[in-house]
Structure 1
C-alpha cells in the first residue's frame, strides 16, 4: 500500500512540476505486455534460479507449502516473471541489489539473507556489497529510522568481509 501511495504522490508531483512528462508517461506501455503467461513463468523461474542457485527448489517448495502453491506461482510468474527479470532498464545485478536493499532496510532477515547471497550469485563484488550495506546504514542513520538489522538474525552480513 505504501508503494501505491508513493506512486500516486510521484505522479501528482510530475503533473505539477513537469507537465510535459505526463503525456510521455501516459503513452508509455508495459514492458511485460508482449509476454505470454508461459514466457513470464519461464523467464521468472530462470531469474529466480540465478538468485537462489542451488537453493531454488527448497525455497520454491517452502513457499508452495505455505500457500497451496499460490505464493510460489505468483512469485515466479508475476514478481519475477513480469517485474524483476525485465532487464531493459536495470541489469540482473542492479535488480538483485535493489531487492537486497529493500529487504535490509525493512529488517526482513530471511529475505535479506536470500537476496544478500543472491546478489553475490548475480555477480555483485564484495566491494559492491560492502558499499551497499554502508549506504543503507548511512541513509537509515540520516533518516533516524534505526538499525533493525543490527542483531543476530543478520549475522550473515559479516560474511561480506571475506568476499
Structure 2
C-alpha cells in the first residue's frame, strides 16, 4: 500500500475559502493537540448539520499527514485480523480516520442518528477507495470479543457517569429518573456503558471534549455546562475547554449564517 492523497479532481474542488476557514478554526484551537483539532471541528459541524464541510476537512488532514506536517500518535487499537500497512504514512491516515469515525459515532448519541449517518457518509465520500477499504477492513471497535452483559455495561456506564459528574451523579440520575426510568437505563447501559466508555481509539478526556464540541450548536446550556465541568473533572484544563467552546460557537455562527444553503462551499 502507498500513502493516500485525494484524487486531483477532488483536490481541485477544495475551494480556497473552505480551506482558509478550516485552517483558521484549527489554528484557533491552539491549546488542543493538533491531531485532535479537526476531530473536534468535525463534531461541531456534525451537530450543526453541515456535513458537506467535512469533505474538505478530511482532505486537508489527509494531505497534511502525507506531507508530514501533522503527526498522528499511536493508539491502543484493538487486535485486528488485518496486518498493519508497512507504510507508516498510510497507517497514520488510517488511525486518523478511525479516530474521527469513532468520535462521530460517540457524539451521535447526543446529536442523533441521522446527523451521525450523514457526517460519517461525508467522511467516507472524502476517502479514496484504497483508504476507505483499509479503514473498513479493521472491523468494528465493539466486536463480539469484548461484549459484556447488560449489568456489566450498566456498571461501566455508572462508573463513567460518576467520574464525569462526581457529587452531582445521584441528583442528576434521580431527576432524569423522575421523568423516565427507561431513559436512565438507556443512558447508563447504552450511551455511557456501551458507547462513551470505550477508550481504545478516543480517551475519556478526548471524549468529553468531543461532547462539548457537539453540545455547543445543539443550544442546550444545562448539558453543555455539565460537560464543560465534566471535562475539567477528567483532567482537561479549563482554559482549553473554554477555548473550544469559543471556537465551536464561531463555527456554529458561521453555519447559521449560511441559512438553508448547504452548497455554499
Same fold at TM > 0.5: yes
Corresponding residue for 1:110?
Answer: 222
**8 Å CA contact 1:32, 1:82 repeated in 2:** no
Within 5 Å, give how 1:2-151 maps onto structure 2. 2-14=115-127, 17-22=128-133, 24-31=135-142, 33=144, 34-36=146-148, 37-67=150-180, 69-141=181-253, 143-145=254-256
Cα deviation digits, residues 98-136 of structure 1 (max 9, x gap)? 111211221111110111111111111122122212221
Cα deviation digits, residues 59-112 of structure 1 (max 9, x gap)? 111111211x10011011111111111111112111111111211221111110
**8 Å CA contact 2:205, 2:236 repeated in 1:** yes
**8 Å CA contact 2:154, 2:193 repeated in 1:** yes
Corresponding residue for 1:160?
Answer: none
* Length-normalised TM-score, structure 1: 0.76
Specify which structure has the higher proportion of helix. Answer: 1
Structure 1 residue 140 displacement after superposition: 2.7
Structure 1 residue 53 displacement after superposition: 0.6
Q: How many corresponding residue pairs?
A: 142
- Cα distance in 1 for partners of 2:166, 2:250 equals 30
Partner secondary structure for residue 256 of structure 2: coil
Q: CA 1:12 to 1:59, structure 2 compared with 1: closer, same or farther past 3 Å?
A: same
Structure 2, unmatched stretches of 5+, are: 1-113, 258-265
* Length-normalised TM-score, structure 2: 0.49
Q: Output the aligned Cα RMSD.
A: 2.0
- Cα distance in 2 for partners of 1:27, 1:48 equals 29
- Cα distance in 1 for partners of 2:193, 2:143 equals 9
- Cα distance in 1 for partners of 2:175, 2:167 equals 14
- Cα distance in 1 for partners of 2:213, 2:141 equals 25
